[in-house]
């Protein structure tokens, strides 16, 4: 199947005619071919978005009309929910049940910002003069948005919905591995007659297509979600033109279990925190910190229960873990597992599943390492796969110290029946997203983002809308007397 990019309200091929094969990670088969767009192709999309912002109706529409369009997008996503879920499952490898949750959440995201579009407001300020000051909020302008491959539709929604609610125009670049659901979303935008150029979706690799977005002076803001190394390049490239930025990078997130926790709930939470979406989650609980008095019992329970995690075709509703996104990423994760064998004690997993039915896919077993030193590479570097590092601790203060001892600060959790201790520890963990006695729930109403090298800025909630607004001061002179300075 040949797909096209979406530029200026038209379907577009790459000017070179080049295409990229989109691969099904279950068996390596080709799902589709999409344009491999050059920097010049992306510049055409930027030009279309620039015209749509500077001259088009979208930023000038009443906010309620923009909100109504977002409600229509949500309704259309729900009408095609099964197709979107299947597309993300086939393209990325996540279990179909998880993909269905993602699609529902994407629709909710558009609805949330549809309602928020008409709630953008400013202020009037009393000032020490015969004057009145007003504060107005305006769209930041043309936004370049670069999203990762682990949540293809949901990440598109997280970026597009607040930008559209604010009145911005956008050029969205999905990950080169997983563009299909974003292009399906473009079909919805076409059917709803969104003004030409308001949303443009370009396909291609990061250095070329993404790089063109980052460096073009016509782009007012970059919103990026991805890995730390790429994030550094985005920040450096955006700095030359002083772009606004919101940057969400990786995590090496602590999941802290105290001895008084509900044991079975904590075991489930540790496995789900580490292995949901094959561990290909920036907020995954990839470091499990366990109080020493229950450490051995926890390892035994994790080992036993991990055997119930069914690997297989992600379209099978019984499957709990699908393949990793690409062969290249599978190899990267396996290399980290080899490093882990030298740094710690392998408890379970550690390789490719032996089931011959999975041989063509990019599968990796759920893998658990014990007795991990927090300075080990498998405890400090983001693996982005189904690899859990288990670390013992003896005291609350030691747990906090270990939890904070990484360059990252995205997410984390604490498991304890002592709510006072739970809140006390959560307040000391330097991360932007934290849970008590659960792991992974995400809400459109709450801000998402990290501390330290996990990035800056926030998505979701009213905080996410703020990232797409500029603040303008207007002063009204209420005196008829001349200034008289000269």
Tokens representing residue 420 in the block: 């006072």
Q: What are phi and psi of 249, to 5 degrees?
A: -110, -150
DSSP-based three-state secondary structure for 434: strand
Q: Residues 330, 351: contact at Cβ < 8 Å?
A: no
According to DSSP, the β-strands at 123-126 and 131-139 are antiparallel
Cβ-based burial of 78 (10 A; exposed 0-12, middle 13-18, buried ≥19):
middle
> Cα–Cα distance between 443 and 158 in angstroms, integer?
11
Cβ-based burial of 360 (10 A; exposed 0-12, middle 13-18, buried ≥19):
middle
- Indicate the angle between helix axes 180-191 and 81-92, nearest 10 degrees: 160
> Cα–Cα distance between 52 and 73 in angstroms, integer?
19
**With the C-alpha atoms ordered 441, 210, 35, 183, is the resulting torsion angle positive or negative?**
positive
Closest C-alpha to 299, from 330, 342, 270 = 270
The alpha carbons of the chain give a radius of gyration, in whole angstroms, of 24
Active-site residue list: 248, 282
Taking the alpha carbons at both ends of the chain, their separation in whole angstroms is 73
Place of tokens 């201790």: 421
Helices (H) and strands (E) in the chain, counts: 15, 22
Dump strand ranges (E) for 110-212: 123-126, 131-139, 142-146, 169-173, 199-201
H or E element in which residue 387 lies: strand 387-393
For residue 397, give every residue at least 6 positions away whose Cβ sits within 8 Å of its Cβ, in sequence order, or none. Answer: none
């Amino acid at each position: 199947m040949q797909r096209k990019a979406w530029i200026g309200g038209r379907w577009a091929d790459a000017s070179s005619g080049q295409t990229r094969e989109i691969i099904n990670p279950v068996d390596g088969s080709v799902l589709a071919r999409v344009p491999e767009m050059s920097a010049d192709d992306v510049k055409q999309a930027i030009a279309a978005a620039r015209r749509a912002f500077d001259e088009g109706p979208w930023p000038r529409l009443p906010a309620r009309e923009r909100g109504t369009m977002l409600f229509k997008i949500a309704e259309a996503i729900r009408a095609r929910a099964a197709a979107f879920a299947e597309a993300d499952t086939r393209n990325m490898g996540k279990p179909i049940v998880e993909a269905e949750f993602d699609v529902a959440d994407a629709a909710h995201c558009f609805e949330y910002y549809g309602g928020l579009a008409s709630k953008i407001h400013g202020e009037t300020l009393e000032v020490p003069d015969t004057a009145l000051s007003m504060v107005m909020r305006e769209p930041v302008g043309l936004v370049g948005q670069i999203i990762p491959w682990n949540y293809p539709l949901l990440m598109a929604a997280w970026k597009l919905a607040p930008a559209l609610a604010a009145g911005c125009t956008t050029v969205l670049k999905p990950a080169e591995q997983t563009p299909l659901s974003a292009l399906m979303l473009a079909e919805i935008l076409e059917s709803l007659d969104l003004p030409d150029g308001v949303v443009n979706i370009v396909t291609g690799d990061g250095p070329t297509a993404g790089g063109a977005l980052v460096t073009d002076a016509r782009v007012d803001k970059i919103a990026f979600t991805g890995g730390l190394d790429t994030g550094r390049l985005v920040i450096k490239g955006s700095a030359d033109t002083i772009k606004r930025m919101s940057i969400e990078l990786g995590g090496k997130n602590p999941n802290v279990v105290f001895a008084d926790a509900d044991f079975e709930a904590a075991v489930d939470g540790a496995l789900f925190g580490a292995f949901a979406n094959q561990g290909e989650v920036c907020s995954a609980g990839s470091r499990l910190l366990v109080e020493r008095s229950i450490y051995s019992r926890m390892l035994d329970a994790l080992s036993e229960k991990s055997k119930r995690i069914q690997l297989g075709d992600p379209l099978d509703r019984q499957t709990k873990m699908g393949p990793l996104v690409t062969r290249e990423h599978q190899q990267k994760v396996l290399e980290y597992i080899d490093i882990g064998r030298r740094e710690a004690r392998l408890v379970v997993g550690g390789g490719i599943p032996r089931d011959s039915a999975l041989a063509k896919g990019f599968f990796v077993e759920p893998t658990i390492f014990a007795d991990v030193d927090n300075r080990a590479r498998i405890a400090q570097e983001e693996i982005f796969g189904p690899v859990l590092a288990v670390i013992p601790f003896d005291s609350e203060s030691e747990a906090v110290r270990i939890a904070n001892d990484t360059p990252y600060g995205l997410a984390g959790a604490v498991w304890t029946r002592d709510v006072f201790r739970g809140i006390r520890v959560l307040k000391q963990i330097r991360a932007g997203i934290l849970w008590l006695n659960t792991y992974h729930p995400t809400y459109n109403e709450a801000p998402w983002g990290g501390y330290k090298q996990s990035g800056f800025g926030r998505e979701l909630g009213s905080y996410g809308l703020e990232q797409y607004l500029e603040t303008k001061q207007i002063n009204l002179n209420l005196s008829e007397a001349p200034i008289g300075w000269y």
